[in-house]
């Protein structure tokens, strides 16, 4: 893998919803081995950005390149097959399937050739072993046979990460993974995300929780009203007065 090619390269990206410009001339890069945090107040366009990269929305103007390939207009399953995985802000598991099945179904071996998998009934041990390894990594192995819909909140979050990893992606996009978590759970999540780092080329982290952002991000992209407000190393952005004023506001002194 050529480290000179950015994992994600976003150029002049705009997204309009009717008269509203949700993303306005956004450009940034995510390089190999990086965790890039995307921060900003509610409505800044962070989730729209995730949906644009993963093919859930179509960009109005601009380009998104993944490892040098233009993915701006690709359907979402093609983007996924190239190696982009995501989690969802409002957890979206297959609730009526077991924890193990949720991870197995994300295995690209069958997902990319669904009807050929009819003949793969007897050759599932390796996929099951790989899925169990991921569940062990996310501390879910002893819940493997439980229905995903019955998982407590923190476990459901981790299962989404395990499922995203099961497709052996190069880039993982975490959309507010700490939403609704208490401090203790957030601390665990930080460790869990760290443990996935060796499996991935890069991570994009959308988050409100400043602890998580500070602990994990190498660089930050701060957004407001769909525009890039600040970009740089985590320390530099946290010292940027524009960012402190716009995003943290009254919290500026304790952040």
Partner 1 sequence: MIEDHLLLTGLNILLAWSVYIILMTGTMSFGNGAFMAIGAYVAGICTVRLGVALEPATLIAALACFVFGLAAGFPALRTRGLYLIMVTIGLAFCVRVAIENTSILGGVRGMRGLEGTTIWHVAAAVLIVGGLLWQVSRSPLQRIFDAVREDEDVAGALGINVVHVQLVAFATGAALAGIAGALYGHYMLFIAPDHFGILVSIFVVLYVILGGTNNMWGPVLGATLMTLLPEFVRGLAEWRTAFFSLVIVLLLLVRPEGLLAFRTVSTRAPRPRKTPS
Is 250 one of the binding residues for partner 1 (CB under 8 A)?
no
CB-CB contact of 64 with 247 (8 Å) = no
Contact between 81 and partner 1 per CB under 8 A: yes
CB of 250 to partner 1, least distance (A): 37
Contact 189, 178 (CB under 8 A): yes
Q: What is the CA radius of gyration of the chain?
A: 18
Binding mask 52-71 for partner 1 (x = CB under 8 A): --xxx---------------
Residue 77 binds to partner 1 (criterion: CB under 8 A)? yes
Q: What is the DSSP string of the chain?
A: --TTS-SEEEEEEEEEETTEEEEEEEEEEE-TT-EEEEE-STTSSHHHHHHHHTTSS--SEEEEEETTEE-TT--HHHHHHHTEEE--SS----TTSBHHHHHHTT-HHHHTSTTGGGG-TT--HHHHHHHHHHHHHTT-GGGTTSBGGG--HHHHHHHHHHHHHHT--SEEEEESTTTT--HHHHHHHHHHHHHHGGG-SEEEEE-S-HHHHHHH-SEEEEEETTEEEEEEEHHHHHT-HHHIIIIIGGGGGG-
Question: Looking at 128-136, 181-189, 197-205, 245-253, which segment touches partner 1 (CB under 8 A)?
Answer: 128-136
Among 63, 97, 179, 187, binds partner 1 (CB under 8 A): 97
The one among 21, 65, 110, 197 contacting partner 1 by CB under 8 A: 110
CB of 129 to partner 1, least distance (A): 7
Q: Is residue 124 close enough to count as binding partner 1 by CB under 8 A? A: yes
Which parts of 188-247 interact with partner 1 (CB under 8 A)? none
* 108 versus 227: smaller Cβ distance to partner 1: 108
- Candidate residues 167, 212, 220, 228; the one interacting with partner 1 per rule CB under 8 A: 167
- Interface with partner 1: number of residues (CB under 8 A): 48
Among 4, 90, 145, 253, binds partner 1 (CB under 8 A): 145
Residue with Cβ nearer partner 1 (27 or 124): 124
- Name the site residues for partner 1 (rule: CB under 8 A): 54-56, 75-77, 80-81, 85-86, 88, 92, 94-98, 100-101, 104-108, 110-112, 114-115, 117-121, 124-125, 127-129, 132-133, 136, 141-142, 144-145, 163, 167
């Amino acid at each position: 893998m050529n480290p000179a090619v950015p994992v994600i390269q976003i150029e002049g990206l705009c997204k309009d919803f009717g008269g509203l410009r949700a993303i306005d001339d956004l450009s940034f890069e995510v390089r190999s081995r990086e965790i890039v945090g995307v921060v900003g107040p509610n409505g800044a366009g962070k989730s729209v950005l995730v949906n644009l990269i993963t093919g859930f929305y179509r960009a109005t103007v601009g380009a998104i390149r993944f490892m040098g390939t233009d993915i701006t207009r690709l359907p979402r399953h093609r983007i996924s097959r190239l190696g982009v995985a995501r989690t969802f802000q409002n957890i979206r598991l297959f609730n009526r399937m077991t924890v193990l099945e949720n991870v197995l179904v994300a295995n690209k071996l069958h997902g990319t050739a669904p009807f050929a998998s009819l003949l793969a009934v007897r050759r599932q041990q390796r996929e099951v072993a790989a899925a169990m390894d991921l569940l062990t990594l996310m501390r879910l192995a002893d819940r493997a046979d439980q229905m995903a819909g019955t998982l407590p909140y923190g476990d459901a979050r981790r299962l989404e990460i395990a499922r995203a990893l099961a497709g052996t992606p190069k880039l993982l996009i975490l959309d507010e993974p700490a939403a609704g978590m208490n401090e203790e759970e957030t601390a665990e999540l930080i460790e869990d995300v760290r443990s996935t780092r060796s499996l991935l080329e890069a991570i994009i982290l959308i988050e409100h929780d400043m602890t998580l952002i500070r602990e994990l991000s190498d660089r930050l992209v701060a957004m407001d009203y769909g525009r890039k407000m600040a970009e740089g190393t985590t320390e530099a952005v946290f010292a940027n007065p524009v960012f402190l004023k716009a995003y943290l506001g009254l919290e500026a002194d304790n952040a």
